[in-house]
Amino acid sequence: MSANPGEARVVRAVHGRSEKPADPAYQAGLAEELRQSYGRAGLIELYGRFSTGDGVVDTMMRKAIWQAITRRCGAGLQVAGGAGFKHPETFEIGDGVFIGAQAYIQGRYDGTCVIGDNVWIGPMAYFDARHLVIEDSVGWGPGAKVLGSTHTALPIDVPIIRTDLEIKPVRICAEADIGTNATILPGVTIGKGAIVGAGAVVVSDVEPFSVAAGVPAKFIRWRSENDPMTNMSREGRS
């Protein structure tokens, strides 16, 4: 009997349950050939040709270019159309990472961006990735953001945009789940297995296996059995 379309239902996760990925044999050779032939500037220009298409060639070339231009990139990378980057030479990407459509990772020339294994990044996500670590099996909701720096806004007789930047690292620990349109501010650590609610603005650390939500985000409760949010995180994102 088919499910009533008006009823809530539970379906099996896909990305979070994927087996260890493997690339076709030619993939590493293609990435190496691109690296040797184009160099970093050439690869960035080449990426523009394939950045938005949904076809097999566009998808393959996006993947190969990311593998060629990043500091390290594992197997099974998926990069959806319109995903962009800056200073990708500072990126270290694990196995089985998915980067959603129109997501943007803004690395910095003096920064480090580390993305662990089996991370799922939703569409239109934004990362100020000067000093960013996202550990393994993190789910990142659509439109969620990381900011890595703020202006000091001092002295007050100077336009804020001209004041110094204060830079702080951000760490998202393994198995955490960041809700849609949440914003993580500079210097914050999200603990292992924590859940950040949709639309939250996180200004301070979130304890492992806790649930935080709101503006500014506050501790709501510890994760527990029979909690729908807990179960969603445990099952992973589809």
| Residue 151 is a catalytic residue | yes
- Catalytic: which of 15, 87, 131, 151? 151
Q: What are the CA-CA distances from residue 206 to residues 5, 10, 88, 191, 210 (Å)?
A: 36, 27, 28, 6, 7
Token digits for 117?
């294994």
d(CA 147, CA 168): 9
Instruction: For residue 135, give both structure tokens.
Output: 């550990």
CA angle, 205 as apex, 227 and 233 as ends, to 5°? 25
Looking up tokens 């506050």 gives 218
Residue of 150, 161, 236 lying closest to 193 (CA atoms): 236
Q: Positive or negative CA dihedral for 166, 197, 121, 193?
A: positive
Kindly list the catalytic residues: 151
